[in-house]
Amino acid sequence: MKQQLLLVLLVAVMLVPMWVIAAQGPTHSEGIAVDKSVNDVQPLEGFIDTPAELTPSQVGVVVWVALLSLLGVLAAFHRFMNELARPEGDGHRPVTDGGGTVDFGWLETEDRWIVGYDPPSDSIAGFAAMAGLTVLTITFAALFSGEYFTLARTQYFGIYAFGMFMSLTGLTVSYYAWFMPHIEVAERREH
């Protein structure tokens, strides 16, 4: 708990001065409108009301908050998928020292040995998760491409790219959780 509090405090110390500077805001200027008699593109139209102009300070704060939020989401997603693939207390115990015949000669040395091995689950749920995420990735890639190559009415490049990359992240995490063994290794170190 202390580590989490320290991490939040560190992030706050970094972001608060940036936020104070960013709160000053830009000088007000009139927005530039697209001539609708020429084309139908509406680049500022979206489902979230956003400002038309941001200062570099405001962009910096938004980027830092987005990156830190993304890091938290990815960590939570990784834990969720790992728990989904290998729940605690499911009756399956990993092979430990002397408890099985796991042989990874390339991994074991005099100073390093395997203390826990949990084989991949290879379950149907893993295949279903990967199939669903593959379809989602292809869908977002098609939407992104359609937005790029056509005269779109609204521009959701960021939303489609985010969906595509998060789906790819989900595929990677799903593969790790369901189709790779989890190996715990102990190593003797000299200080």
Letter string b/e over residues 80-108, b meaning 16 or more CB atoms within 10 A of that residue's CB: ebeebbbeeeeeeebbeeeeeebeeeeee
For residue 124, what are the CA distances in angstroms to 32, 131, 178, 179?
A: 53, 10, 9, 11
Mean pLDDT of 97-120: 73
The predicted pLDDT at position 139 comes to 96
Q: Where are the domains of the chain?
A: 1-25+55-85, 91-191
> CA separation (Å) from 117 to 1, 88, 113?
29, 15, 11
pLDDT of 108 over the 90 cut: no
This prediction's pTM: 0.60
What is the arithmetic mean of pLDDT over 140-159? 79
Instruction: Give pLDDT, residue 40.
Output: 62
| C-alpha Rg value of the chain to the nearest Å | 24
Average pLDDT over residues 120-149: 89
CB atoms within 10 A of CB 150: 8
pLDDT of residue 49: 58
Q: What's the rounded Cα separation, in Å, for the pair 142 and 179?
A: 28
Distance CA 164, CA 141 (A): 6
Alpha carbon distance 13, 8 (integer Å): 9
pLDDT at residue 74, as a whole number: 82
Q: Is the pLDDT of residue 166 over 80?
A: yes
Per-residue pLDDT at 76: 86
* The pLDDT of residue 173: 87
Predicted pLDDT at 154: 61
Give the pair of three-digit tokens for residue 35. 């001539």
Between 191 and 70, name the one with better pLDDT: 70
pLDDT at 57 over 50: yes
Q: Kindly report, residue by residue over 14-39, the tens digit of the pLDDT.
A: 777 777 777 666 665 565 666 667 66
Band (54; pLDDT cuts 50, 70, 90): low
Q: Which residue has the higher pLDDT, 142 or 107?
A: 142
DSSP 8-state symbol, 186: E
